[in-house]
A and B are shown apart, each in its own frame.
Chain A
């Protein structure tokens, strides 16, 4: 409310330190004073309301985001870190707010028996639920429960540093109170199913979640042992089993209480099991906890299978909903994986059993019973197993999960390693898809998607792991020896020198098959191209093997010759070409790699060359089938162009050069076929982008010449063209296409620009190299007229355009000076437009460009040269010269208009050289401003402020860093001083 932020911060601190606790006291005392009356009376009395309100207030106070404590504990945080988990580990779970009020609150909340009173109050309330006026969800019960849950997440320095004893006692006290809500789980869940309200049970789950958030799984498990023969993990497991059972029996789409309870409990498990410090080591659970985890995982798998087979019945009516829930499902699956890994030696064999049961069922029932339910079950099993066995790479090569590496101690023979058994059984199953008959009956596209997904995830981790070789080096201590041995057995089993190559061969054959035998299944083929094949070529050692495999050669041959593969969707087409070209890096030397790429692409280029040489090209080209082939080949060329590596650069370069002429001819004949035009442009953009930095001077010249011809041709087709259509959708489509084309052209210019910055060619610098700056200006000159103000409304295009513009103005101001007046005027016009744009970035870039121009001009003037010459002096359309014009509009902007404060320094940097260039104009403008001011006091204030802008802080008339800094300060103080009254006038 007009006050500075500091003031609000102070209020906040003062409230927290001085008043909050007092308020809490009042609330507590109010509640205490009526407690006895409530407990004694059987009927509802007015005091209940008082108590409810007090409880609510206490809850609100505990919800306060205590800051003071977190600051002060930063220094002493390690004291009881054994118990308290740090914020960053638990802050992932935003739903669970930590309560950290600091040591000052200890007396109120803990040592005074406050919790005991609260639990006592609630226990008394529970007795009364049968009475009139009280029920499970009556306001006082709800608030009491909420407060209790809130107490569960109490942590931080409020507890004395006694190794967590105090906190443990606190939690134990709470837990024993909460226990009545959820224990024994089967009785509770039965009661709920019979109509009892579920809110108490859900609150119990939430309390467990809170406790889990503030402890480690060890402490968590120990808590219950004090009062029960088993640990808390066992309780958690039985509780969740009950919940999952209920979930299984009444499987509906509605969100029932069991859904919610399941999610809360799953979160609890995740919090307990998630690796604490990112080092990847889940701490080992005690045997009892492990057992609990195994139980719950078995239950989960059973329920997921049940859900899967039941879901077959309800058809895909809500496929959109399915798509949306996939990410939620992913999160759930990774929680399952955490649980499974906690008891990995039990869960892996379990999964293997489930798989083999279903394989047998499929095998026996083939042709007799409808396999759909089993297929759906396998689908879920594959997803679950994929998560359990391997982590997602996130761009890096994931390691075999630690639990799997370390937990199989006594397995020495690789063939008997449970993970190997499981993986092998899945791979053998997948291999059956090669048989057309089995494929037709068993491998539906959906199941195949899961298979491909699994293979990709699995092979990323297990297939020919890099670690394999390193493994020999790791020296184990004696007690670790066994575990290292079993780890080595696992890792090397699918390694290069063992089964790796065989498995790789199978995977490649399956991939080829999905591309050939599932026509039109875009999702499946997309997974194969983008996921599986990409994963394979990402690693060098796999590439080495790949290029020597017959199956890979078959895939390459199919790519070249098979018509079925021409029908892949465009993105898949591109990705496949890219993958094949990338695999060339596995060949012995650069010559072989280049030869390989040539062999892959020569058919496409010959086709395009021959097509473009046809006499009747114009009529032939319009035929839909020709359009399709051309688009397909362009996509492939683009894929290959984007895969260029130093090793294959030659071949990709030649590929581009050979289709230069055809590209121009096609650009001509397809000028009305926007989809093809866009492909052509994108291919050239990617190709130039990949090649430009390698090219020798001669080659650069020809590429640039080609690009200019392309630009001119495109421009001549599109300038002054008015398309019209009866449908507004088609019109807006046409606009979008235009925008995409132009964006591609700007990208082309930007990559040309980069030639000056990154250059790997062997020529010594600037032998007789082309002047890139001239080329880019010329290109810009061609493109700019096509960009209307309408099109600049597309943020990306606008952004690209201005970053290119400001880049070339900064780097090549001298070329700018040589432009003819029309081109010059156009660029100045756009700069002016950009200055008043809403986008901060755009304005920033324009200011940068202005600064560059003005300082260039000023430096040249100082050196006695002409600088921007006639442009600066002004003529024709701009009688006042560009600098005075921008000086005026920049001052106008700074003093009178709305803008983000972040712009001030950039504006200062542009303003200083402008003022230096046009001192006379600046004087005049300043005087005008002062004259306009009627109020004499404000008048003198303004005059002083303007005066000090150019004179205070020892501002000189040079353009160096120090001076820019001084000027920034000066401008800031000017704005603070005068903007307030100037704008209100």
Chain B
């Protein structure tokens, strides 16, 4: 156990790190992986062998979590892959500016004004309409490897 504890602490300090190494064989479907320097969500994993009596290798199909592009990679399953540190945070939406930026309320009371509205039509209209109707909206911002994007939206009731 003490071993495990140590492992845990040391990583906690390295919180700023963007990616972590992880054995390819342990990366599962629905997990994350870095392929060609892009953070991806794994949608398919299959294993095969290099030659009849060789070692296993993993074939990953991932989808870039920011731009939706499909990427593939093959890695020997005992080797390490990079796994991105994907963070999601909820913010309350306080304003939408004319130039397409949003203003968000952080937990400690500051505002975060550096995010643009999403390009996705559906989400965009949901946010704009909801905001115009005076609904109280919470947006989820996903960040990984230095990029950020609004990825989800939740209506927590109308303003009184």
Can you list, as one digit per residue, whether each of A712-736 has a CB less than 8 Å from chain B (1) or not (0)? 0000000011111111011001000
Bound-complex Cα distance A447 to B63 (A) = 35
Contact B52 A567 (CB under 8 A): no
Contact A315 B32 (CB under 8 A): no
A877 interfacial contact with B, CB 8 Å? no
Q: Which of A75-83, A455-463, A616-624, A854-862 contacts B (4 or more CB under 8 A)?
A: A616-624
Contact B25 A519 (CB under 8 A): yes
Contact B78 A720 (CB under 8 A): no
A-B contact count (CB 8 A): 157
Contact of A726 among B22, B25, B53, B120 (CB under 8 A): B120
Contacts of B64 in A (CB 8 A): 727
A106 interfacial contact with B, CB 8 Å? no
Contact A607 B1 (CB under 8 A): yes
Bound-complex Cα distance A721 to B139 (A) = 9
B97 interfacial contact with A, CB 8 Å? no
B101 interfacial contact with A, CB 8 Å? no
Contact B47 A523 (CB under 8 A): yes
Contact B49 A722 (CB under 8 A): no
Contacts of B23 in A (CB 8 A): 519-520, 567
Contact B28 A520 (CB under 8 A): no
Contact A723 B152 (CB under 8 A): yes
Contacts of B140 in A (CB 8 A): 672
Contact A730 B41 (CB under 8 A): yes
Contact B53 A522 (CB under 8 A): no
A311 interfacial contact with B, CB 8 Å? yes
Q: How many whole Å from B76's CB to the nearest CB in chain A?
A: 7
Known: A626-B8, A725-B68. A730 touches B15 (CB 8 A): no
B106 interfacial contact with A, CB 8 Å? no
Question: Smallest CB-CB separation from A717: which chain B residue?
Answer: B154
Contact A376 B52 (CB under 8 A): yes
Bound-complex Cα distance A295 to B83 (A) = 58
Contact of A376 among B26, B30, B53 (CB under 8 A): B53
Bound-complex Cα distance A687 to B47 (A) = 31
Known: A444-B53, A522-B47, A625-B20. A563 touches B3 (CB 8 A): yes
Count class of interface residues, chain A: 35 or more
Contacts of A520 in B (CB 8 A): 23-26, 55-56, 58, 76-78
Can you list, as one digit per residue, whether each of B36-49 has a CB less than 8 Å from chain A (1) or not (0)? 00000101000111
Bound-complex Cα distance A372 to B87 (A) = 47
Contacts of B83 in A (CB 8 A): 624
Count class of interface residues, chain B: 35 or more
Contact A726 B67 (CB under 8 A): yes
Contact A519 B54 (CB under 8 A): no
Contact A619 B15 (CB under 8 A): yes
Contact of A521 among B15, B43, B56, B123 (CB under 8 A): B56
Contact B41 A737 (CB under 8 A): no
Contacts of B85 in A (CB 8 A): 622-624
Contact B30 A733 (CB under 8 A): yes
Q: Is the interface of A mostly helix, strand, loop or mixed?
A: helix
Contact B52 A311 (CB under 8 A): yes
B151 interfacial contact with A, CB 8 Å? yes
Bound-complex Cα distance A628 to B76 (A) = 19
Contact B43 A569 (CB under 8 A): no
Can you list, as one digit per residue, whether each of B87-118 has a CB less than 8 Å from chain A (1) or not (0)? 11000000000000000000000000000001
Contact B156 A730 (CB under 8 A): no
A40 interfacial contact with B, CB 8 Å? no
B122 interfacial contact with A, CB 8 Å? yes
Contacts of B47 in A (CB 8 A): 522-523
Contact B156 A733 (CB under 8 A): no
Bound-complex Cα distance A146 to B94 (A) = 84
Bound-complex Cα distance A523 to B57 (A) = 11
Contacts of B52 in A (CB 8 A): 311-312, 315-316, 372, 375-376, 444, 446
B74 interfacial contact with A, CB 8 Å? no
A93 interfacial contact with B, CB 8 Å? no
B12 interfacial contact with A, CB 8 Å? yes
Bound-complex Cα distance A720 to B84 (A) = 28
Contacts of A727 in B (CB 8 A): 63-64, 68-70
B31 interfacial contact with A, CB 8 Å? yes
Bound-complex Cα distance A372 to B28 (A) = 31
A606 interfacial contact with B, CB 8 Å? yes
Contact of A724 among B28, B66, B153 (CB under 8 A): B153
A73 interfacial contact with B, CB 8 Å? no
Bound-complex Cα distance A624 to B26 (A) = 12
**8 Å CB contacts to B: which residues of A167-209?**
none
Contacts of A563 in B (CB 8 A): 3, 7
Contacts of A611 in B (CB 8 A): 8
Q: How many whole Å from A569's CB to the nearest CB in chain B?
A: 7
B147 interfacial contact with A, CB 8 Å? no
B155 interfacial contact with A, CB 8 Å? yes
Q: How many whole Å from B111's CB to the nearest CB in chain A?
A: 20
Contacts of A629 in B (CB 8 A): 4, 8
Known: A623-B20, A724-B151. A375 touches B53 (CB 8 A): yes
Contacts of B66 in A (CB 8 A): 726
Bound-complex Cα distance A12 to B28 (A) = 58
Known: A569-B25, A675-B30, A725-B151. A623 touches B53 (CB 8 A): no
Give 15 CB contacts A-B under 8 Å.
A375-B53, A444-B54, A520-B24, A522-B47, A567-B26, A622-B88, A624-B32, A629-B4, A672-B142, A723-B151, A724-B123, A724-B153, A726-B66, A726-B120, A729-B43
Known: A523-B47, A561-B1; 18 extra A-B contacts, CB below 8 A, are A315-B51, A316-B48, A447-B53, A519-B78, A520-B56, A520-B77, A523-B56, A561-B3, A563-B7, A570-B28, A603-B1, A603-B4, A620-B12, A620-B15, A625-B11, A672-B88, A726-B67, A730-B65
Binding site for A on B (CB under 8 A): 1, 3-5, 7-8, 11-12, 15, 19-20, 22-26, 28, 30-32, 41, 43, 47-56, 58, 63-70, 76-78, 83-88, 118-120, 122-123, 126, 140, 142, 151-156
